Amino acid sequence: MIKTLTRRRALGAALAAITLGTAAACGGAEAEDGPATLNVWLMKDSAPDAVLQQVNTEFQNAHPGVTVSVQILEWDGRDVKWKTALASDTPPDVLEMGNTDVLAYAASGGLTDLTGREFENQATWLQGLTEAGSYEDKLYGVPYYGGDRVVIYRKDLWQKAGLSAEPTTLAELKAAGEKLQQSGGADFSGLYFPGRYQYAALPFLYDTGGVIATRNGEKWAGALSSPQAQAGLTNWADLVKAVSKAPADTDETNLPDVLAQGRTGMIIGQAWMVGSIGKEHPELADQLAAFPVPGTAGPMPVFLGGSNLASAAASRHQDLAYDWIKLMTGTKYQTVLAQGGLLPNSTSLSGAVTGITKIQMDAAAKSWFTPTSTKWSDVDNAQVLMDMLQSIAAGDATVAEATKKADEQINQMLNAA
Amino acid sequence: MTTTLAPPEPPTATTVALAKKRQITPYILLIPATVVVFATLLYPVGRMVALSFQRGNLGDLIARRTVWVGLDNYRSVLTDPVFWTVLPRTVGFAAVCVALTLIVATGCALLLQHASRWARVTLSVGMVIAWATPVLIGAVIFKWLFDAEFGVVNWLLTASGLCDCGHRSWLGDQWSAFAVLVSIVVWGAVPFAALSIYAGLLTVPPELAEAARVDGASASRIFWRITFPLLRPIYAILIVLSVIWDTKVFPQVWLTTKGGPYQGTVMLGVYIYQKGIVGSQFGVASTIAVLMTVMLLGLSWIYIRAMREEAR
Q: Where are the domains of chain A?
A: 2-147+306-357, 149-303+375-414
Q: Does the CB of A105 have a partner CB in chain B at under 8 Å?
A: yes
Torsion angle, alpha carbons of A157, A160, A165, A170, to 10: -60
Which candidate, A308, A295, A262, A310, places its Cα nearest to that of A363? A295
Q: B258, B180 in Cβ contact below 8 A?
A: no
**How many angstroms separate the CA of residue B136 from the nearest CA in chain A?**
15
Residue A247 CB-half CA count within 13 A: 23
What pLDDT tens digit does each residue of chain B (312 aa) get?
A: 444 455 555 566 666 666 666 788 888 999 999 999 889 989 999 999 999 999 998 889 888 889 999 999 999 999 999 999 999 999 999 999 999 999 999 999 999 998 999 999 999 999 999 999 999 999 999 999 998 888 899 999 988 888 877 778 888 888 999 999 999 999 999 999 999 999 999 998 889 888 998 998 888 898 898 889 999 889 988 999 999 999 999 999 999 998 888 889 999 999 999 899 888 889 999 999 999 999 999 988 888 787 777 766
d(CA B177, CA B139): 13
Candidates B47, B51, B57, B58, partner chain A, best to mutate (most A CBs within 10 A) = B58
Task: Write down how long chain B is.
Answer: 312
Q: Which residues of A touch B166 (CB under 8 A)?
A: 186-187
d(CA A338, CA B299): 60
Asked if A87 and B260 come within 8 Å (Cβ–Cβ), the reply is: no
d(CA A80, CA A61): 34
**How many angstroms separate the CA of residue A249 from the nearest CA in chain B?**
5
Q: A151, A292 in Cβ contact below 8 A?
A: yes
Asked if B169 and A250 come within 8 Å (Cβ–Cβ), the reply is: yes
Q: Does the CB of B172 have a partner CB in chain A at under 8 Å?
A: yes
Q: A2-147+306-357 and A149-303+375-414 share one CATH topology?
A: yes
The whole domain housing B236 covers 72-311
- The predicted pLDDT at position A250 comes to 87
Q: Which residues of B touch A377 (CB under 8 A)?
A: 279-280
Q: Which fold has domain A149-303+375-414?
A: D-Maltodextrin-Binding Protein; domain 2 (3.40.190)
Candidates A253, A383, A392, A413, partner chain B, best to mutate (most B CBs within 10 A) = A383
d(CA B299, CA B308): 14
> What is the per-residue pLDDT across A328-364, written as a single tens digit (0 to 9) for each?
999 999 999 988 878 999 999 988 888 888 888 888 8
B202 assigned to some structural domain: yes
CA-based torsion, B131, B137, B138, B141: positive or negative = negative
- The predicted pLDDT at position B299 comes to 86
Candidates B51, B55, B60, B62, partner chain A, best to mutate (most A CBs within 10 A) = B62
Beta bridge partners of A98: A307
d(CA B203, CA B142): 36
DSSP string, B250-280: -HHHHHHTTT-STTTT--HHHHHHIIIIIT-
Q: Which residues of B touch A187 (CB under 8 A)?
A: 166-167
Asked if A108 and B58 come within 8 Å (Cβ–Cβ), the reply is: yes
pTM of the full structure: 0.81
B113 assigned to some structural domain: yes
CATH superfamily, region A2-147+306-357: Periplasmic binding protein-like II (3.40.190.10)
Residue numbers in chain A where pLDDT is lower than 50: 1-32
Tally of domains in chain B:
1
- Write the CATH number for B246: 1.10.3720.10
Asked if A387 and B261 come within 8 Å (Cβ–Cβ), the reply is: yes
Q: Which residues of A touch B278 (CB under 8 A)?
A: 79, 381
What is the side-by-side strand order in the sheet with A264-270? A189-191, A264-270, A149-154, A288-292
Helix (H, G, I), strand (E, B) or coil at A94: strand
**How many angstroms separate the CA of residue A109 from the nearest CA in chain B?**
6
Torsion angle, alpha carbons of B249, B250, B254, B259, to 10: 60
DSSP string, A21-78: HTHHHHHHHGGGSSSEEEEEEEETTSS-HHHHHHHHHHHHHHSTTEEEEEEEEPSTTH
Helix (H, G, I), strand (E, B) or coil at A213: strand
B272 assigned to some structural domain: yes
In this structure, the number of other CB atoms found within 10 A of the CB of residue A416 comes to: 8
User: Closest-CA residue in chain A for B144?
Assistant: A254
Q: Which residues of A touch B57 (CB under 8 A)?
A: 108
* Closest CB from B65, B263, B277 relative to A387: B263
* Closest CB from A245, A313, A377 relative to B167: A245
- The predicted pLDDT at position A173 comes to 97
Q: Is the peptide bond before A294 cis (omega within 30 degrees of 0)?
A: no
Asked if A248 and B169 come within 8 Å (Cβ–Cβ), the reply is: yes
Which candidate, A157, A154, A156, A153, places its Cα nearest to that of A183? A157
